Amino acid sequence: MWRFREVVAGAVLLVGIAGCAHREAPLPEVRLWTHTGDTVEFPTHFAGSVVLLAFFYVQCPDICPMIAERMRQIWEALPDKHRVRGVMISFDPLRDTPERLREFAQVHELPLGEFVLATGKPEAVEALTRAVDVVVQKSPTEFADDGTPVYFYAHSDVLLLLDGRGRVVGRYSGTEAPIDRVVRDVQQLQKRLP
């Protein structure tokens, strides 16, 4: 399993660097459930707000916590958070229950209320990741002594910026996004909101 993770880590870096083009097209509408247990239609639920968007899963051992940290740093650097939302979407709905999503947010000090952690049916999340060129690959499932399934995901290291109409207008490394630049980009989008 460790060999798989090493190979995948290299692939993730290459995918993150290669996928730098902006995509100014609407995202597919999908139904997600959130850390509160509520259901939302994404991206419509966030229309009229600038959205910082990342994909993750709770049991991720390395990249996802780093993405959460970078999102928190960007959030704290924003001088005006009016009509800005942070959204993290898990591609592991089997394990990432609303309770686990809340725990992840609390551990990584993401301000629930301004941030929404969500997941949905695999086909819904896959439609989103495919639309924004985020690569997600699940490792073969192994089983712990107690029968619990054990698996990991290799995935792109991406942070996306959505405008008030739910279009992807910015793409950055999720772990190394330049905070000042993202803040400037958010501020520019805030000025264009109706």
Of 164, 183, 170, the C-alpha closest to 19 is 170
pLDDT at 139: 92
pLDDT at 16: 38
pLDDT at 194: 85
2-192, CATH topology level: Glutaredoxin (3.40.30)
pLDDT at 26: 75
Residues 6+ apart with CB under 8 A from 126: 91, 136
Mean pLDDT for back-to-back runs of 10 residues, the chain (194 residues): 44 38 71 96 96 97 96 97 97 95 97 95 96 94 90 95 95 97 97 91
Question: Cis link prior to 43 (omega < 30° from 0)?
Answer: yes
C-alpha dihedral sign at 42, 43, 48, 50: positive
Q: Are 175 and 67 in contact (CB under 8 A)?
A: yes
Q: Is the pTM of this model over 0.75?
A: yes
